[in-house]
Amino acid sequence: MVYNAAETRYDKMVYRRVGQSGLKLSALSLGLWHNFGDVDRLANQRDLLHYAFDHGITCFDIANNYGPSAGSAETNFGKIFHDDFQPYRDEMVITSKAGYYMWPGPYGEWGSRKNIIASCDQSLQRTGLDYFDIFYSHRPDPETPFEETALALDQIVKSGKALYIGISNYDPEQTAAITAIFNELKTPFIIHQMAYNMFNRKPEAGLFDVLADEKKGAIVFSPLAQGLLTDRYLHGIPEDSRANRKDSPFLSVADVDQRLAQIKQLHAIAESRGQTLAEMSLSWDLRENVVASVIIGASRVSQIEDNLKAIDHLDFTDTELAQIDTITK
């Protein structure tokens, strides 16, 4: 069946400008870190992408190593894009990244010119795209000069392989240093991608200030703290939860136990706002002016449906913000 995007797709979504660039992103972006690998059903992936786009989500966040296996998220996205989304390419912001381990040997990771340009070429080949809207340096390389990384990214734009450049996981000092190089090169560097949520407020300690001073934007991942900032753990740890999995490096039973009192307090504030804890957590991230978009993940369409409700209530009272600060700082 031919996919026809919903005519109502732009009716409710909020679009926010990335720094002082000309680009706007949907307030929620769909991340392909999980659930889009070759271990996941392609039909479900298709449903997730259709539902997101039909409801105004225009930004789709990928990286070369997303899967598993590494590279399969790009390949699967490329298949679905080829079948369904080609007529809508100019309505989409499709992003990828390079920097984490991707292939064996000395050139398969980090931020060298060789790795970044080869990675971009491979990612374009896997997705079947002509260009990315944003291409990121996924992490700073402690052994490669920032000038080399910046020049490689600048070449990617000048060769038509990306429209804009972003960085990810750089600290405030590293961000300021590479921004100065981008400014000198006149590279269209516009955005920084970092983890940010009520339990991880590290970007507030300098990084947001650097981005605001440089008139750049932010897009944040892990807004729900691997599921902690949801209603999932309010009444115990479900057998099928991420925290209960022995192979989960990002969340453990101890993490839940340590945060449970805070989760219950935050849940009470969310209830008073007429939101779930997950909805409030997404809205809270978007209270920061520098944040253009929040990346959500989903394994089911219903999760995207629920997360979209965050857009309906983005305002916070001073009292609510103070209460959240008291609980989380």
pLDDT beyond 60 at 97:
yes
Residue 239: the pLDDT is 63
Average pLDDT on 215-230 reads 96
d(CA 190, CA 211): 9
| CA distance to 102, 261, 280, 325, per residue, from 228 (Å) | 29, 11, 13, 17
Measuring CA to CA, how many Å separate 249 from each of 22, 33, 204, 226?
A: 38, 14, 25, 10
CATH no. of 15-228+278-315: 3.20.20.100
Tell me: the pLDDT tens digits for 264-306? 999 999 999 999 999 999 999 999 999 999 999 999 999 999 9
| Structural domain spans, the chain | 15-228+278-315
Percent of the chain with pLDDT over 90: 91
Asked if residue 248 has pLDDT above 60, the reply is no
Q: Which pLDDT does position 243 carry in this prediction? A: 56
On average, the pLDDT of the chain sits at 95
**What mean pLDDT comes out for the span 158-162?**
98
d(CA 257, CA 31): 27
* Non-local CB neighbours of 194 within 8 Å, separated by 6+ positions: 168, 169, 203, 207, 218, 220, 221
